[in-house]
Amino acid sequence: MASAAEQLAANFNFGALGKAKELQRRLLFVLGALIVYRIGTYIPIPGIDPVVLRSFYESHSGGILDMFNMFSGGALQRMTIFALNIMPYISASIIIQLMTTVSPKLAALKKEGGEAGRKKINQYTRYGTVILAALQAYGIAAGLEGYTSNGASAVIDPGTFFRVTTVVLLTGGTVFLMWLGEQITARGVGNGISLIIFAGIVAALPSGLVQLLELGRTGAMSPALMIIFLLGAIALVAFIVFMERAQRRIVVQYPKRQVGQRVFGGQSSHLPLKVNTAGVIPPIFASSILLLPITALSMNAGTGPAWLTELSSLIGHGKPLYMLLYAAAIIFFAFFYTGVVFNPKDTADNLKKYGGFIPGIRPGQATADYLQFVLTRLTLIGSLYLTFVCLLPEFLIAEYALPFYLGGTSLLIVVSVTMDTVSQIHSHLLAHQYEGLIKKSKLRGSRK
């Protein structure tokens, strides 16, 4: 069966895609949803002076706002209804996941609640998203009211009405994107939340490349150095693909059993453990956790006490303290999320239930300990890989003033989401081709 699947995957072509009507509908739905998202990133919030807003962003550019703007697909720079993007939802997901590890009630709901428990946790996540989005939206509204340039305020008519309008629009935009992401996951191809972030980054990549070429045209960067950077980006993409596909295969043996005159089992299989089990989640979680406090510090640095301004400069983009916090957050979330998605004890119990065992390891607790040992080493390698990929370009951006969109986090998200989406497209095509083979075999059988 595995060889047949590999052969079908190797024979994938556009002809097979043309026959898969269900897959075409899913892809068209994803395309339409992303177009709606991109249109929303150009609908501005009323009551804001665009000239003063541009001055505000230029004065704070090159820092953490660029990262926020990258995840929002440029919506923050234009201060549109999708300025918060999907980041409050990600932050709420982090909080709920952390609470499931410390709250026995939530832990039991997640483990034993089944589908109903999963829906309940998702509902809590939605409530948390609304609360976080409302708080962040109010902070943005208050920050914009307090900013002036050449005597002009960023808000044309500041006051309660503007704050309420901004909170409602930004919160509503985030809730809509959360719903849109869930619809993409259910009715499209790939993970909807990841695809929304992916679309925002990809939409900004052309402008990033133009900025890079502009650096070469003005002489700010030599052509040789520019070529080195582009080749380095290609090599980094190849390295990401290699690491995302890397896995440790643990041999699993199933004993022979006799039923009547026939002997079943005795097969050898393997349990694949990815080097990077957490995927692209740790950098996104780490960025989301750092965004809120750093943005608040940067907005209030000039108006608050002196220590606040000093702290804002120390934790700014490209600074050693920021790099240290970012790396620590990536490593923490790599271990945390891996522990959430893979439970060695449950895997060991399932192997024991179906008679499987790892050669040289006793079933039960010994198998769980062995899997935990292997998983910990793999997660350490995976977390260091994620840290390297995300921080290396950050040093180059800080040193050579490269466009922020060419950073390691953006490349990692684009490559990982692309690989995951293509993999799901292949799965749909394989299912469609298998259905065609089954139908043909039934027709041949009926003719006989």
CATH class label, 224-406: mainly alpha
| Separation between Cα atoms, residue 319 and residue 316, nearest integer Å | 6
Residues with Cβ within 8 Å of 230's Cβ and at least 6 positions away in sequence, in order, are none
Q: CATH 1.10.3370.10 residue ranges in the chain?
A: 23-207, 224-406
Neighbouring-strand partners of residue 263: 258
Place of tokens 């990929």: 389
- ∠ CA 164-127-69, rounded to 5°: 60
| Separation between Cα atoms, residue 299 and residue 295, nearest integer Å | 6
Tens digit of pLDDT at every position of the chain (448 positions) = 444 444 444 444 556 666 777 888 889 999 999 999 999 999 999 988 888 888 877 776 655 666 777 778 888 888 899 998 888 898 888 788 878 877 888 877 777 667 788 888 889 999 999 999 999 899 888 888 877 777 778 888 888 899 999 999 999 999 999 999 999 998 988 888 889 988 888 887 777 777 777 777 777 777 787 788 788 888 888 899 999 889 898 888 877 665 556 655 567 788 889 999 888 888 877 877 776 666 666 555 555 566 666 666 666 666 778 788 889 999 998 998 888 788 888 888 888 887 788 888 888 888 889 999 999 999 999 999 999 988 877 777 666 666 555 567 778 888 888 888 888 888 877 776 666 656 655 555 555 4
Q: What is the CATH number of domain 23-207?
A: 1.10.3370.10
Q: In Å, how far from its chain's centre is CA 375?
A: 21
| Separation between Cα atoms, residue 106 and residue 95, nearest integer Å | 12
**Closest to 52 in 3D by CA, of 79, 70, 82, 74:** 79
- CB burial of residue 448 (10 Å; 0-12, 13-18, 19+): exposed
Full-model pTM: 0.78
Inter-residue contact 30 to 195 (CB < 8 Å): yes
